[in-house]
């Protein structure tokens, strides 16, 4: 199984368009320098791959591309770069899909929720402000000290719903 959505010229959900890629990469590099993190060639390329992808990519999807470009060909190469990006807040892991996606709002300290379309496999990062607040509240009520959360919704995006009518 590949997790990559079809690049058929039609794009369901709003995502980081190619036009933004360069800007986000530059911002990522600036941010990395500032924090002492090293955005190495593999890591940079993985971020680029995620930014250019429609939908989320599995680690092995990423690995395949890396391998074809002369980077290492074994799973740890992809997983290490992906985990680095997640740690840096430059990417998110979508557990429901066993996949990764570039962060749409890097640099901002935000909690995200993901809207996963079952029709076109697109993954949209939604603002989870209110959801997060409610979850904080629920955790507090249970006496639970919340560190971080995964919020993933599955359904159909607006474009696909329109198309289905």
Partner DNA sequence: TTATCTAACGTTATATCATAACAGTCAAGG
Partner DNA sequence: CCTTGACTGTTATGATATAACGTTAGATAA
Region from 2-10, 24-32, 34-42, 116-124 binding a copy of itself, contact rule CB under 8 A = 116-124
SS (H, E, C) 64-129: HHHHHCCCCCCHHHHHHHHHHHHHCCCEEEEHHHCEEEECCCCCCCCCEEEEEECCCCCEEEEECH
Is 89 within 8 Å of 47 (Cβ atoms)? no
139 touching a copy of itself, by CB under 8 A: yes
Is 77 within 8 Å of 65 (Cβ atoms)? no
Q: Which is nearer to a copy of itself, 5 or 66 (CB)?
A: 5
* Residue 107 to residue 6: CA distance in whole angstroms: 29
96 touching a copy of itself, by CB under 8 A: yes
* Binding test (CB under 8 A) with a copy of itself, winner from 103, 113, 120, 123: 113
Which residues would be at the binding site for DNA (CB under 7 A)? Answer: 1, 3, 37-38, 40-43, 58-60, 66, 71-77, 79-81, 83-84, 98
Q: Which is nearer to DNA, 67 or 132 (CB)?
A: 67
Query: Of DNA, a copy of itself, none, which one sits near residue 75, judging by CB under 5 to 8 A according to partner kind?
Result: DNA
């Amino acid at each position: 199984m590949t997790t990559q959505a079809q690049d058929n010229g039609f794009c369901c959900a709003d995502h980081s368009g190619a036009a933004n890629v360069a800007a986000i990469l530059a911002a990522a590099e600036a941010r990395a320098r500032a924090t002492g993190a090293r955005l190495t060639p593999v890591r940079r390329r993985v971020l680029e791959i995620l930014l250019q992808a429609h939908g989320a990519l599995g680690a092995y999807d990423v690995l395949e591309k890396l391998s074809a470009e002369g980077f290492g060909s074994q799973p740890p190469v992809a997983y290490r770069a992906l985990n680095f990006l997640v740690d840096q807040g430059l990417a998110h892991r979508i557990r429901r899909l066993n996949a990764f996606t570039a962060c749409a709002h890097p640099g901002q300290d935000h909690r995200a929720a993901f809207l996963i379309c079952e029709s076109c496999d697109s993954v949209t990062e939604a603002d989870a402000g209110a959801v997060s607040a409610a979850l904080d509240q629920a955790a507090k009520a249970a006496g639970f000290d919340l560190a971080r959360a995964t919020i993933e919704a599955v359904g159909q995006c607006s474009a696909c719903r329109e198309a289905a009518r």
